[in-house]
Amino acid sequence: MNNISPFHLAIPVNDIIVAINFYENILGFPPGRKSDHWADYNFFGHQLVVHLDQNHNPKNHHNEVDGKSVPVPHFGVVLPWEDFDAFANKLKNKVEFVISPYLRFEGMPGEQKTLFFYDPAGNALEFKSFRNIDQLFKK
C-alpha cells in the first residue's frame, strides 16, 4: 500500500468559525488556505475542505455493525497501529464519542481498533487502525 495518492474530500458545515475551531484546535489538523466560506486542512496527508452551507442539516442515519450503531455516511483515516491510542486519548474530553475506542476482531484476520464521533456540523468521522495493515481488505 505504498505510494497512496492523497484524497480530497469537501464536506458541508453550517458554521465556518465553529468548524475552523474544531478542526484546528480540537483535532489539531494543520490549516492550509481559507476564506470566509471554506478552509482546508492537512488531514493526515490528505486534503479535507470544510465548506460553509448555512442550510446544512445532516440526516443522522445509523446501521447495526457488530452490535454497534454505526453512523452512515462517515469518513476518516486508517492510522498506524502505534498511533491510534495516542490519537484516541487526545480526543478524550474533547469530543463526544458515538462509539468509544474499542478493539474489533481480536486475534482474528482484520483485527482493528476503531472509534466514531461527529463534528459540530453533524459530519460523522471514524478513525481506525489495523494490527496488520496488510489485512485491510482481508475477507
Task: With beta carbons less than 8 A apart as the criterion, state whether 75 and 50 touch.
Answer: no
Residue 24's pLDDT is: 97
Residue 2's pLDDT is: 61
pLDDT exceeds 80 at position 120: yes
What is the rounded distance in angstroms from the CA atom of residue 139 to the CA atom of residue 136?
A: 9
What is the rounded distance in angstroms from the CA atom of residue 42 to the CA atom of residue 23?
A: 10
pLDDT tens sequence across 42-80? 999 999 999 999 998 888 888 888 888 888 999 999 999
Structural domain boundaries in the chain:
8-52, 62-135
| 44 to 14, 27, 65, 76, 137: CA distances (angstroms) | 24, 11, 26, 10, 20
CA atoms within 13 A on the CB side of 101: 16
Q: Is the pTM of this model over 0.85?
A: yes
pLDDT exceeds 80 at position 139: no
Read off φ and ψ for residue 111, nearest 5 degrees: -55, 130
Average pLDDT over residues 113-130: 97
Q: With H, G, I as helix, E, B as strand and everything else as coil, classify residue 92.
A: coil
What is the rounded distance in angstroms from the CA atom of residue 97 to the CA atom of residue 127?
A: 11
62-135 CATH choice from 3.40.50.1000, 3.10.180.10, 3.30.70.890, 1.10.357.10: 3.10.180.10
pLDDT tens sequence across 2-34? 678 999 999 999 999 999 999 999 999 999 999
Contacts of 84 (CB under 8 A, 6+ apart): 101, 113, 127, 128, 129
Domain 8-52 bears CATH identifier 3.30.720.120: yes
Task: With beta carbons less than 8 A apart as the criterion, state whether 53 and 14 touch.
Answer: yes
Task: With beta carbons less than 8 A apart as the criterion, state whether 127 and 76 touch.
Answer: yes
